[in-house]
Structure 1
Amino acid sequence: MTDDHTFPTSLGTSDADTIMLMGHNVATDLMGKVGFGELAFWMVAQRRPTAGEVRLFEAVLVSLADHGFTPTAIAARMTYYSAPDSIQGAIAAGLLGGGSRFLGVTEDTGGFLHRVLADLSDDTTGWSEDRWDALALDVVTRTKAAGQFVPGIGHPVHKNGDPRVPVIFSIADEEAVLGPHLKLFAAIGRAHHQVLGRSLPLNGAGVAGAALADLGLPVTMLRGFSLLARTAGLVGQIAEEQRTPIAPAIYNAVDRNATFVAPEPAN
């Protein structure tokens, strides 16, 4: 009995002599000729990005790679301490912490902006800053009235401004890829205080989501790019843990200072 099933793919295939990726020979067409960031963009978007798009995309990846001893980094280091024979487990532990508070904001912001723009009937090409501000004010007002939060604003550390934000805007402008998602995000930064009663900085994860959405990448994949960037950071964290470990001190500090508290009686 023959099996005539086929499994279509636009990505990788191979035979005894060649490895093909997106219709190109990996050995002769891609290796040494295509950067890793460009390749990652190409594989997801199914189109080769321009040089300007690559510059913005890779700037976003760099901005998300590492941010110090975040929970994701600590989780990776602690897992490596527990299972040094399983580096993949340590990396996975760090990636599993990429959620609504860390890394997931990129996806949340890109999706939020994308939904707002998708609901517009007007072409935003040529909109003035005042018109963007009016849209942003309406969006923030409606979001607050619904009891929801606008993603991408505020930061627990960079309360006076996230240093990554102006760089992303500048690169996007220089490369002529500053689109409606970034313009709306900038307008939210200018207008939100009128509704919230306080000024919060735009954060790096949020501007990353806006930039990735402007590059035409699927908003459902934006967290994937955050995780791709953070993977590099986690590899660096584990390498440093091998050289100068801190996980034993974290473990001892928590374990030796654990205090028993009797549970309260159930009602």
Structure 2
Amino acid sequence: MTDYPTGLGTSDRDTISLLGHDLAGDLLGTVTFGELAFWLATQQRPTPGQLRVFEAVLVSLADHGFTPTAIAARLTYYSAPDSLQGAIAAGLLGGGSRFLGVTEDTGMFLHTALADLGDTSGFTDEQWDAAALTLLTQTKQSGRRVPGLGHPVHKLRDPRTDVIIRIADEQGLRGAHLRLFEAIGRTNGQVLGKDLPLNGAGVAGAALADLGLPIELLRGFALLARTAGLIGHLAEERINPIAPAIYAEVDRNAVYVPAIPTN
């Protein structure tokens, strides 16, 4: 008989166990959803400070208005109102390098850079700036972009960045990922020719990485947060729909262009 081990949850006739605790007797009513999400991902219960930073990041990523992910969810719901799960999935599938995925991309970028820097525990701001300049130069020379820089709306300052950094600092969790990313924010103009602000998704990735969360799962936390936003969009779509107007606008203004034959 084959065993299928798991340290998450199991159940029998009378009980449900989760993370080594009785779900009904120990967790219901005492554990927040954010705390449980962190716990499930790390198999370690977060400290109050970790939880405060983690939930602040989730709130910062929940919704940003009519993004492509929200529009995709609303249009799918219009097409298949009997499939709420399909509409939510359609929105989540749009989480990539331009929306939502920036959180993971930034965390991974910083994590890789820090591995090359070695021990940074005693770094001054000047040392962080020097490290950031080297990293920016190498990234530019390789033809790559630095994830988490710039924002299509917040051209000067993303309003989320200072708040997330402040909360992390208050909790003693402003670690190497955030400090390197802050240095990138201070110095990128010297390499790129113009100053680009750190965006909220990038700062979120740096903050999550400083919490010790698995780097490969950071996009999952962004998707977790955005799920709440998508549910909100679908709830609003039921009452005040915009998807029919979007569909009609595109359909009525579509211009047929015959394909050019190729030999």
Please give the range of the TM-score, normalised by the shorter of the 2 chains.
Answer: over 0.9
Q: Does 1:118 align with 2:115?
A: yes
Distance 2:123 2:133 in 1: 15
Distance 2:114 2:39 in 1: 24
3-state secondary structure, aligned to 2:10? strand
Q: 1:5 deviation in Å? A: 1.4
Aligned to 1:187: 183
Distance 2:125 2:71 in 1: 42
Select the residue among 58, 61, 83 that pairs with 2:58.
61
Select the residue among 238, 243, 255 that pairs with 2:239.
243
Aligned to 1:52: 49
Q: 1:75 deviation in Å? A: 0.3
Aligned to 2:165: 169
Aligned to 2:4: 7
Q: How does 1:1-267 map to 2 (within 5 A)?
A: 4-121=1-118, 123-267=119-263
3-state secondary structure, aligned to 1:110? helix
Distance 1:23 1:262 in 2: 63
Provide Cα deviations, 1:157-212, integer angstroms capped at 9, x if missing partner: 11011000000000000111110000000000001111101000100110000000
Q: 1:100 deviation in Å? A: 0.8
Distance 2:6 2:99 in 1: 32
Q: 1:120 deviation in Å? A: 2.1
* TM-score (structure 1 length as normaliser): 0.97
Distance 1:119 1:125 in 2: 14
Amino acid at match of 2:116: D
Distance 1:41 1:149 in 2: 30
Distance 2:254 2:108 in 1: 41
Q: 1:261 deviation in Å? A: 1.4
Q: Show structure 1 runs of 5+ residues with no match.
A: none
Distance 1:83 1:214 in 2: 41
Q: 1:119 deviation in Å? A: 1.6
3-state secondary structure, aligned to 1:119? helix
3-state secondary structure, aligned to 1:13? strand
- Percent identity of equivalent pairs: 70
Amino acid at match of 1:99: G
Q: 1:16 deviation in Å? A: 0.5
3-state secondary structure, aligned to 1:157? coil
Distance 1:224 1:218 in 2: 10
Q: 1:74 deviation in Å? A: 0.2
Distance 1:165 1:17 in 2: 47
Distance 1:262 1:231 in 2: 39
Q: Which segments of structure 1 move beyond 6 Å, counting only runs of 4 or more? A: none
Distance 1:139 1:208 in 2: 20
3-state secondary structure, aligned to 1:193? helix
Amino acid at match of 2:15: T
* TM-score (structure 2 length as normaliser): 0.99
Amino acid at match of 2:47: T
